[in-house]
Amino acid sequence: MASSQPSTKRRRNESTITGRMTERQENMYKHGICMYDKMLPNEASRKFCNQLLQGDYKPAGYPVYRAKHRRAIQIQAATEAEAIIHRDILPTVVPSAQILHTIGKLKEEHLRDEIDAPWMRASTMGDKHPKPDYVAGLRRSAFDEETWDKLMNYGTPDTPVLLSTATKKGSIGLQEAEYQAIHGAAIAVRSQIRLFWQAYGKSHAKVKELYGQALVYSVCLNHDLVYILAHYATLKEGTTDQVEYYHCKLKIYSLTMEDGKDQNRPYTFVQNVYEKCGSQHVKKIQDAAKLLKAPAPALSTGSSFKLQQLSFENEGSSESSRGASDGEAVFKKPKLSITAVMGQELAALRKMMEEQKVESEQQKEKLEMELKQQREESQQQLKQQLKQQLKQQREESQQQLKQQREESQQQLKQQREESRQQLKEQRDQLTQIIELLKARKD
């Protein structure tokens, strides 16, 4: 009975957490993605992340404008579409790994760029397929032919990811960018964990070293704010293969506050990631990929394509996992029967419909948030207008009061002058009367 109490408490906590989530967040939570920010449990990884935030790199070059125009471009981007932020702001926040290597600012040669590339090979985790604005991963040249074939037989997505970026417009858009980054990074972390499982076995020391360590980094931004996140995984308590995925928000920067004091900090972090993590990331994936089992040789089917080009079972399926041990690689099995192919097509269609449903719900949620924002903006504008009108009426009243006061003072002055004049005339008349009386008396 005592052993069941922690499990009961955990289920109760999970029920409390899911009760406060949106449907989208709950879907990701069911796949092990924890949406709340949580500090890195690995102290060495925390110190390393702090080192990544140090330094002072400046953008090596601007794509379409000079550095002196940067502030004006940032202000202008506040009212522009996401594509403009992607074009004008993103290169000064997240440099291209390939361009840095080409111009001699980065030694690591095996990092490559991907822009707006959907991860269609990746199994999603409660959300639609990621499509990051920018990804830094590994080049094909980082592997020999045999190792690359092993990795491609196993790996999803196509390129082992080190850093990804999501760019959105406005504060609501930035929250959406963070959700997308968390989901995409969780997929990339899961890919690394499973790669190590297949290469070394789940109980190997190299696998245990991964838990609690930052494995993937992401940058979320709009025209002004930049979120820098580190992503990691831990084993669920009491299990050996149930992984939970977390993120730690390392820093939030403003590109414009205090005259752009921190505008180069995100750029510095990203270049540090390339320089300090790039070679380690390459070596880590290379070593693990070399230990994978070689893919089965292609069988002749009498067709123009190889058998390996057919669809395969998911390596994470229950059938596959039941037949695997910790030190054993689990690979996909070819399906040749027409029934199996039709079943796979039906599953793909069902998955596509589910994704469309998720996307529709996301669009509905986004529209509701935009409507709420518009309502708040309208209320704010109305308040500003009423405040302005009240201020104008107060100023007009004060002006009228001042004018009336001046007119009253002028009238009072005029009346005083007239009274003085009348008094003088009366005095003169009195003097004349006195003189007449004196004359008569004489």
pLDDT tens series, the chain, 442 aa: 344 444 444 444 554 444 567 888 899 999 999 988 898 888 999 999 999 999 999 887 656 677 777 778 887 888 888 888 888 889 999 999 999 999 899 999 999 999 998 888 788 999 999 999 999 999 888 889 888 888 877 755 456 889 999 988 888 889 999 999 999 999 999 999 999 999 999 999 999 999 999 999 999 999 999 999 999 999 998 888 899 999 999 999 999 999 889 999 999 999 999 999 999 999 999 999 999 887 765 444 333 333 333 333 343 333 333 333 333 333 344 444 455 566 677 778 888 888 888 888 888 888 888 888 888 888 988 998 899 899 999 999 999 999 999 999 999 999 999 898 999 988 888 888 888 888 887 7
Interatomic CA distance for residues 103 and 97, integer angstroms: 10
Interatomic CA distance for residues 219 and 167, integer angstroms: 8
Contact 324, 291 (CB under 8 A): no
pLDDT at 341: 61
Coil vs helix vs strand at 117: coil
Interatomic CA distance for residues 270 and 12, integer angstroms: 40
Q: Give the sign of the dihedral formed by CA 16, CA 46, CA 216, CA 248.
A: positive
List Cα–Cα distances, 192 to 83, 118, 206, in angstroms.
31, 19, 12
Contact 229, 182 (CB under 8 A): yes
| Cis preceding linkage at 157, omega within 30 | yes
Contact 217, 161 (CB under 8 A): no
Q: What is the 8-class DSSP label of residue 433?
A: H
The pair of structure tokens assigned to 139 is 């080049």
Give the start-end residues of each E strand in 102-152. Answer: 111-114, 134-138
Render 299-330 in DSSP notation, one character per residue.
Answer: PP-SSSS-GGGS-B--TTSHHHHHT--TTS--
Bridge partners, residue 248, by sequence:
230
The pTM assigned to this predicted structure is 0.65
pLDDT at 359: 86
The pair of structure tokens assigned to 374 is 């518009």
pLDDT at 332: 42
From the list 204, 232, 242, 191, the residue with the least C-alpha distance to 44 is: 232
Count of helix runs (H) and strand runs (E) in the chain = 15, 7
pLDDT at 80: 83
Give the start-end residues of each E strand in 139-195. Answer: 161-167
pLDDT at 61: 65
The pair of structure tokens assigned to 305 is 């394509």
Interatomic CA distance for residues 136 and 96, integer angstroms: 8
Render 331-373 in DSSP notation, one character per residue.
Answer: ---B--SHHHHHHHHHHHHHHHHHHHHHHHHHHHHHHHHHHHH
Q: What angle do CA 128, 129, 133 make, to 5 degrees?
A: 115
Domain ranges of the chain: 14-296+305-313+327-336
From the list 96, 311, 277, the residue with the least C-alpha distance to 192 is: 277
Contact 248, 260 (CB under 8 A): no
Q: Starting from the edge strand earliest in sequence, which strands make up the sheet with 243-254, in order? A: 33-37, 243-254, 225-235, 216-221, 161-167, 134-138, 111-114
From the list 191, 229, 228, 238, the residue with the least C-alpha distance to 210 is: 191
Identity (one letter) of the amino acid at 355?
Answer: E
**CB contact set of 412 (below 8 Å; sequence gap of 6+):** none
Looking only at the bridges linking them, the beta strands covering 225-235 and 216-221 are antiparallel
3-state SS of 22-57 is CHHHHHHHHCCEEEEECCCCCHHHHHHHHHHCCCCC
